[in-house]
């Protein structure tokens, strides 16, 4: 283990701070509440020395069992994992507490550990992007999507774990259930503005892909825009709209009609003299709403994911709307069903990646549902 530390100190090109790692761990051992301050964002993978990774994992295990992570309990946990001797034994744990007179600066030390870990991930991502650049067999859009995904993962400080023990999932789930119990009757997801729908579904849930499918001219766009209006204007949550069918001006016209109650035909023809004050007021309200519109036609799923990632990094996103699914481009295929399936999988991956609901409109064939269905303008 000493050999590992000597090797670490010679690797000057790799960002790390052993003293900050020792101070963060020592603070946690010294003060039982210190781990409460750092556990939501300080991950075991952020530590550079392997023995520090093992020690922090043992501390988190104690904390998750609601046991104070002090020298005795952490030593017991490490012994149970057969790693106590590998980290230097109780002697090393005692040295860590001796290094820090107080735990008041635990967040400061933890942020240093986090910062250096992110720089190491940038180096790793740079290597992967270089390899992508040398692989000329990839389609350019595929290559750009892969490269952007590498940087996005670093910017979001995401951790990658192959498996998570069910105990940690149960702990986090119990917190969610407790919160839901306290908020009983409230909408737990993104409110749609439709009371019955919110009551039935609890709102639009994070990481869900919701398909709104109907035949042409049945009101899909109007329905989706009414939800976007409620979420952006009434609730003031951020909505990203990918409009592949209508221009941004047409969408704004519809949103303005919703807000003012003025017929869209009058807005389209400019016959608004007697309601000009309503139009001006509505334009002011919509201008301040966190609604973002992308109206580039025939976007590919990779372009949608790329632009959504950038918007998420800039302002955050609470809902993504795609109008509509069949107008998106997929990789060339002789089977349109396979193309739509690929687009749907890509949108689901986007919902999971950004952890937001994605509402995708889908056009059904006019023959679906029979010939005697009533029709209305979309």
Q: Which of 141, 245, 294, 342 is catalytic?
A: 245
Sequence ranges of the domains in the chain: 1-184, 186-363
Superfamily of domain 186-363: P-loop containing nucleotide triphosphate hydrolases (3.40.50.300)
- Measure the CA–CA gap between 343 and 53, rounded to whole angstroms: 39
Q: Alpha-carbon Rg of the chain, whole angstroms?
A: 27
- The sign of the torsion formed by the CA atoms of 127, 128, 130, 131 equals positive
Q: Do domains 1-184 and 186-363 have the same CATH topology?
A: no
**What was the pLDDT predicted at 160?**
47
**What was the pLDDT predicted at 377?**
43
- φ/ψ bin of 142: left (φ > 0), alpha (ψ from -120 to 50), beta (otherwise): alpha
Q: Is 100:26 a contact under the CB 8 Å cutoff?
A: yes
**What was the pLDDT predicted at 159?**
46
Which parts of the chain have pLDDT scores under 70?
1-12, 155-165, 168, 172, 179-181, 183-186, 330-336, 366-378
- Measure the CA–CA gap between 301 and 313, rounded to whole angstroms: 18
**What was the pLDDT predicted at 1?**
45
Active site residue 245: yes
**According to DSSP H, which parts of the chain are helical?**
2-10, 18-30, 34-38, 50-64, 71-80, 89-99, 106-134, 140-155, 166-182, 195-201, 220-229, 248-260, 264-269, 276-287, 301-315, 336-354
**What was the pLDDT predicted at 131?**
86
Q: What is the CATH number of domain 1-184?
A: 1.10.860.10
**What was the pLDDT predicted at 133?**
84
**What was the pLDDT predicted at 53?**
94
**What was the pLDDT predicted at 156?**
63
Closest CA to 66 of 170, 164, 201, 160: 170
């Amino acid at each position: 283990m000493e050999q590992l530390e000597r090797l670490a100190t010679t690797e000057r090109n790799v960002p790390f701070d052993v003293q900050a790692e020792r101070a963060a761990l020592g603070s946690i051992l010294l003060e039982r509440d210190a781990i409460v301050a750092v556990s939501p964002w300080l991950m075991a993978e952020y530590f550079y020395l392997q023995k520090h990774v093992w020690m922090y994992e043992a501390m988190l295990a104690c904390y998750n069992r609601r046991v104070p992570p002090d020298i005795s309990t952490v030593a017991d946990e490490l012994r149970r994992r057969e790693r106590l001797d590998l980290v230097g034994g109780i002697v090393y744990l005692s040295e860590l507490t001796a290094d820090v007179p107080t735990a008041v600066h635990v967040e400061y030390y933890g942020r240093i550990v986090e910062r250096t870990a992110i720089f190491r991930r940038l180096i790793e991502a740079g290597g992967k992007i270089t390899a992508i650049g040398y692989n000329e067999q990839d389609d350019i859009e595929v290559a750009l999507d892969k490269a952007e995904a590498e940087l996005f993962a670093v910017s979001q400080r995401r951790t990658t774990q192959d498996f998570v023990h069910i105990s940690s999932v149960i702990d986090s789930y119990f917190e969610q259930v407790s919160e839901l119990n306290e908020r009983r009757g409230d909408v737990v997801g993104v409110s749609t503005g439709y009371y019955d729908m919110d009551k039935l579904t609890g709102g639009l849930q994070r990481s869900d892909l919701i398909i709104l499918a109907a035949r042409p001219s049945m009101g899909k766009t109007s329905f989706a825009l009414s939800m976007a209006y409620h979420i952006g204007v009434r609730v003031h949550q951020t909505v990203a709209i990918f409009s592949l069918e209508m221009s941004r001006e047409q969408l704004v016209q519809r949103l303005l009609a919703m807000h003012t109650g003025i017929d869209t035909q009058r807005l389209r023809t400019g016959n608004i003299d007697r309601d000009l004050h309503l139009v001006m007021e509505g334009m002011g309200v919509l201008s301040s709403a966190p609604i973002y519109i992308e109206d580039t036609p025939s976007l590919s799923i990779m372009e949608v994911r790329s632009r959504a990632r950038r918007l998420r990094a800039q302002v955050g996103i609470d809902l993504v709307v795609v109008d509509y699914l069949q107008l998106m481009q997929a990789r060339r295929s002789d089977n349109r069903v396979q193309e739509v399936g690929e687009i749907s999988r890509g949108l689901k991956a986007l919902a999971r990646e950004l952890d937001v609901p994605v509402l995708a409109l889908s056009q059904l064939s006019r023959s679906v549902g029979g010939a005697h269905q009533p029709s209305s303008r979309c």
